[in-house]
Structure 1
Amino acid sequence: MRLLINIDVPDLDAAVAFYAAAFDLKPARRLGDSIVELLGAEAPIYLLQKDAGSIAAADRSREYARHWTPMHCDVVVDDLEAALARALAAGAAQEGAIREGTWGRIVQLADPFGHGWCLVQFLGRGYDEIAT
């Protein structure tokens, strides 16, 4: 299986700038007028220009205010504070304090387009600390 990540955004240029600055992703190529491929993660990320108000799924329209979805992306980092500072400087909003568990540390963010993200720093054996 090969995983591709697609993220709807209302402003392609602003999204490229944010994800490059926040997560050190690199624009690899433009696919037509409305898609940019970003590399630097384990899976390619495609930013898709989709206007606010356009149909997203069924009869629901896209909106880019902060929203919740049962699926989000985690960015695994070596230095949580440095990664958080970088993301905040790029325009992310921190949502809550850094939390720590036996497996590591995590902080929740929202990007400027309403999508939720987590920064995760594994400690010790990471998730193996809690695996059964």
Structure 2
Amino acid sequence: MQLLVNIDVPDVAAAEALYTQAFGLTPARRFGDAGVELRGGNAPIYLLQNAAGSGAAAGAQRDYARHWTPVHLDVVVDALEPALERALAAGMRQEHPIREANWGRIVRLADPFGHGWCLLQFVGRGYDEITS
């Protein structure tokens, strides 16, 4: 199985600048002005331009204000503070203080397009610290 991540945004160029600066991703293929493939993680990320108010799933319309969704993306980093500084400088917004757990450290962010992101720094055995 191959996993592809698709992220709707109202402005592909602005999203590309944000995600390449914040997470060190690299543009790969372009799909005219309507999309770009970003590489550098385990799965390619496709930024897809879709206007606010355009049709989405189940009759809903796209809204790029901050929203909750049961799906979000985690970015695993070696050092949390420098990664957080890069993300904030790129235009992400920190939503909560850094939280410590026995598996590592986490901070929740939001991008200007309403999407939620987390930065994770694993310690010890990472999630294996809490498996049963």
- Contact 2:12–2:33 under 8 Å retained in 1: no
Which runs of structure 2 are paired with 1:71-110 in the superposition (5 Å)?
Answer: 71-110=71-110
Q: Give SS of 1:66's match.
A: coil
Q: Which contiguous aligned blocks of 4+ residues in structure 1 show a shift greater than 2 angstroms?
A: none
In 1, the alpha carbon distance for the partners of 2:59 and 2:5 equals 23
In 2, the alpha carbon distance for the partners of 1:58 and 1:32 equals 27
Identify the residue that residue 35 of structure 1 maps to in structure 2.
35
Identify the residue that residue 128 of structure 2 maps to in structure 1.
128
- Contact 2:68–2:116 under 8 Å retained in 1: yes
Identity over aligned residues, as a percent? 70
Give the TM-score of the pair, scaled to structure 1. 0.98
Q: Which runs of 5+ in 1 are unaligned?
A: none
In 1, the alpha carbon distance for the partners of 2:26 and 2:73 equals 17
Give the TM-score of the pair, scaled to structure 2. 0.98
In 1, the alpha carbon distance for the partners of 2:88 and 2:56 equals 28
Shift of 1:42: 0.6
- Contact 2:37–2:47 under 8 Å retained in 1: yes
In 2, the alpha carbon distance for the partners of 1:27 and 1:49 equals 15
Identify the residue that residue 15 of structure 1 maps to in structure 2.
15
Amino acid at match of 2:24: D
CA RMSD of aligned residues (A): 0.6
